[in-house]
Amino acid sequence: MKFLSGLFGMLFLFVNLPQTFAQNYNLINENISKVLFKGSYFSFYLSPYISQKANCVKQSGTYSLNASKSSGIEAGGNYFINFNKSYSIIVGAHAGISGRNFKLFISKSDFNPNLKNDINFNGRLTKDFDLYLSAPIWFEKRWIRKNNATWNVDAGIKLRFEPDEAFYMYDYGGFDMNNQYVPVLDLEGWVGNNMKPWLNYNISGGYSVLLSNYNFIRLDLIANFSTIKVVNFNYTIDVAGKPQSTGTYSANLSYVGLSISYIFTGTNKGLKKYYEQFFKQKES
């Protein structure tokens, strides 16, 4: 009899357990939207990007400096203040490094005596990075899709600051056939904004997927623009027997890129609180 009683008990659990899980799952699905977009979020933010190439302007002479696009990266934390399901304000604290470079080619035969090698400074060999801190303030609009995934568009400002403002001097050259060093390029100037923060403008759009732990993973396309030139150099190029070439080199460190965010929603705590209140009301 005990054996049969135990068997019927196991059979009862086998039949009713899936139904119980299904009811709980349905209960969560029905009520998750009531707590998902309440309160605030915190997120970790990572953005690899391509910075706008520096602006090189020739002022005199035969030769001129050039530049190409370069890579950069920014990381930090963001805090979401949710007004409702559709709108939020995002504030954050980030740090980043923005790449810049220059290019110059002069044939070794342009020198007298000839150089051993061409002057060939390409972007990879002359790449440098500028460290900055930034504080974004963005307004976000969301559209909720199936399974609480969302499309989003963000726009706003980013306050940047260069903590390592300094005067830079670059001296490049080559060796002639007599093994004598020949200076060719002198590039010097300031990086920074006189120790003052400056405004950047941001716009981005992306898609967020709700994970099984009720946090979001988000991927965005992002564009950043600044009107402030925070890299300001002058250059001279000297080739014996030819007029000196001069010009300016400047960069505003604007960029386009991707960003990935892991967003902690706190929904598990919200659901627990909601169910505690729900069952209290049900019992009373």
Show the tokens assigned to 232: 């300001």
Mean pLDDT value of segment 12-18: 42
Question: pLDDT tens digits for 124-176?
Answer: 788 999 999 999 999 999 999 988 899 999 999 999 999 988 899 989 999 99
Q: Which ranges constitute the DSSP H helices of 94-166? A: none
Mean pLDDT value of segment 192-220: 94
| pLDDT of 203 over the 80 cut | yes
pTM of the model: 0.81
CA distance 98 to 71: 7
Nearest to 38 by CA among 69, 83, 92: 83
Q: What is the mean pLDDT of the chain?
A: 86
For residue 208, the SS3 value is: strand
Question: pLDDT tens digits for 74-122?
Answer: 999 999 999 999 999 999 999 999 999 999 999 999 999 999 999 998 8
- pLDDT confidence of residue 5: 53
Question: pLDDT tens digits for 34-65?
Answer: 678 888 999 999 999 999 999 999 999 999 99
